[in-house]
Amino acid sequence: MVYAEIRMAPELLQEQGLSLDQIVGEMLAGFKRGEKEMQQHGKPIKVGLLLTAMRTAARSSEIAQLAIKWREQGVVGFDIAGKEAGYPPTRHLDAFDAIRQANFHMTIHAGEAFGLPSIWEAVQICGTDRLGHGVRIVDDITFDEANNPVLGPMAAYVRDRRVPLEMCPSSNVQTGAAKSIKEHPIGLLKNLQFRVTLNTDNRLMSDTFMSKEMYLLVHEAGFTLKELQWLSVNAMKSAFIPFDERLTLINEVIKPGFAQAAEELKIKF
Ligand SMILES: [Zn+2]
pLDDT tens readout for residues 106-133 = 999 887 777 899 899 999 999 999 999 9
Q: Give the largest Cα separation in the chain, rounded.
A: 61
Q: Find the 269 Cα to ligand 1 centroid distance in Å.
A: 33
- Any catalytic annotation for residue 183? no
Amino acid at 86: G
Q: How many C-beta atoms surround the C-beta of residue 153 within 10 A?
A: 9
Which pLDDT value is given to residue 138? 96
Task: Give me the CATH topology for the region 109-259.
Answer: TIM Barrel (3.20.20)
Which pLDDT value is given to residue 84? 80
Q: Find the 109 Cα to ligand 1 centroid distance in Å.
A: 7
Q: Which segments of the chain are extended strands (E)?
A: 3-8, 46-54, 75-81, 106-110, 130-133, 141-143, 149-151, 165-167, 196-198
Q: Find the 167 Cα to ligand 1 centroid distance in Å.
A: 9
Q: Find the 243 Cα to ligand 1 centroid distance in Å.
A: 26
Q: How many C-beta atoms surround the C-beta of residue 172 within 10 A?
A: 24
Cα–Cα distance measured from residue 269 to residue 266, given in angstroms and rounded to the nearest whole number: 9
Residue 2's SS3 state is coil
Which residues does the chain have with pLDDT short of 50? none
Which pLDDT value is given to residue 82? 84
Residue 224's SS3 state is coil
Which pLDDT value is given to residue 238? 98
Which pLDDT value is given to residue 208? 96
Q: Find the 260 Cα to ligand 1 centroid distance in Å.
A: 32
Which pLDDT value is given to residue 81? 87
Q: Which of 5, 11, 112, 166 is catalytic?
A: 112
Which pLDDT value is given to residue 86? 84
Residue 160's SS3 state is helix
Which pLDDT value is given to residue 29? 98
Q: Find the 17 Cα to ligand 1 centroid distance in Å.
A: 27
DSSP 43: -
Q: Which residues pair with 109 in a beta bridge?
A: 132
Residue 150's SS3 state is strand
Q: Which residues pair with 151 in a beta bridge?
A: 141
Burial class (CB in 10 A: 0-12, 13-18, 19+), 16: exposed
Stated pTM of the model: 0.95
Which pLDDT value is given to residue 230? 98
Q: Find the 82 Cα to ligand 1 centroid distance in Å.
A: 8
Q: How many C-beta atoms surround the C-beta of residue 242 within 10 A?
A: 10
Q: Find the 201 Cα to ligand 1 centroid distance in Å.
A: 5
